[in-house]
Amino acid sequence: MTDTLKIGNYEFKSRLLLGTGKFSDLDVQQQAVDASGTEVLTFAIRRLNIDNPDNPNFLERLDLKSFTLLPNTAGAQTAEEAVRIARLAKASGLCDMIKVEVIGDMRTLMPDPIGTLKATEILVKEGFTVLPYTTDDPLLARHLWEAGAAAIMPLASPIGSGLGILNPHYISFIIEESPVPVIIDAGIGSPKDVAEAMEMGADGVLLNTAVAGAKDPVLMAEAMKLAVEAGRKGFLAGRIQKKRYANASSPMEMMIE
Amino acid sequence: MNLLINGQERVIENAKTLADVVSHFGLSERIIVIEHNLNIVARELYAETPLTEGDKIEIVHFVGGGC
């Protein structure tokens, strides 16, 4: 039995999605992408610098047959702005997946729930495969998958904070209930956070800063890959119940006297 | 021809269609998307999209980004 991640019409062997921001160097980035084993890369859409259009661009180095692109609507603060960016991304002809990101507060970069839902509704109707970036609110998550989101992407903690999963309890409600994949997005800091998310039953994780900002991004990318696999297998294997006191592993009978 | 390209006022001599803007900046081989007066224009229609004075053009591309 192969254990794959299915998002809309897409199917992936890897459960690690990787952002492409904040890498200091394109060669390091390429090695980190390879080490992570990811099949999905996120990008942002921005104006081209028309005075210097030949600036090195990571996308144009990639073998696009090997990856699925997940452009985001980062920078949007309203549903309308997110829809505009999503349409531009799709017009590239490279992808129909979109990570809806409608930021409601510039200090915390928390998503605006109303704008996120509105953009999701519009883009689903237009035929996009929509992955909304959302808070850890189980009811908002429900509205999003009812609106046709192909996956739900609750934040672990604020973007780039590395604080790990602040509200595992609410995220577990989302995972329990969601008929579509739940991908933990934003705030993950270390392989331990990744393993925690996967052990909880998350279907995948989206990382960027935790890899790009590590002292050795390539080694961290590999560590994250292993953490995803370890956490996933741990979840499938089913962990033991926690007990308050000890429970000996060695027989208590036939003791030597 | 006076155009507003990515928020900057630019004069491009003899630009008649969007295709002229693309070749002016040397972008024919690049992965870009163009919005012309807020309408997205498919690549194959650049040469058939006439320009008028003061048109607003957005030329965008994919940059690194994530979460």
User: What is the rounded average pLDDT for all residues in chain A?
Assistant: 94
What pLDDT shows up at residue A1?
62
**Among candidates A20, A53, A93 on the partner chain, residue whose Cβ is nearest the Cβ of B65:** A20
pLDDT grade, residue A104 (50/70/90)? very high
Is B27 within 8 Å of A94 when comparing Cβ atoms? no
Res. A55: pLDDT tops 90? no
Least confident of A92-96, A179-183, B17-21: A92-96
pLDDT above 90: percentage of residues in chain B: 76
Our answer to whether residue A99 is catalytic in this structure is: yes
Res. A151: pLDDT tops 80? yes
Q: Which of A23, A50, A155 is best to mutate for the B interface (most B CBs within 10 A)?
A: A50
- Quick one: average pLDDT of B21-29? 90
Give DSSP secondary structure letters for chain A: ----EEETTEEES--EEEE--S-S-HHHHHHHHHHHT-SEEEEEEEE--TTSTTS--SGGGS-TTS-EEEEB-TT--SHHHHHHHHHHHHHTTS--EEEE--B--TTT--B-HHHHHHHHHHHHHTT-EEEEEE-S-HHHHHHHHHTT-SSBEEBSSSTT-----S-HHHHHHHHHH-SS-BEEES---SHHHHHHHHHTT-SEEEESHHHHTSSSHHHHHHHHHHHHHHHHHHHHH-PPPP-SS---SS-SSS---
- How far is the alpha carbon of B64 from chain A, nearest alpha carbon, in Å? 4
What pLDDT shows up at residue A114?
97
Q: What is the pTM of this model?
A: 0.90
pLDDT in tens, A201-244: 999 999 999 999 999 999 999 999 999 999 999 999 999 999 99
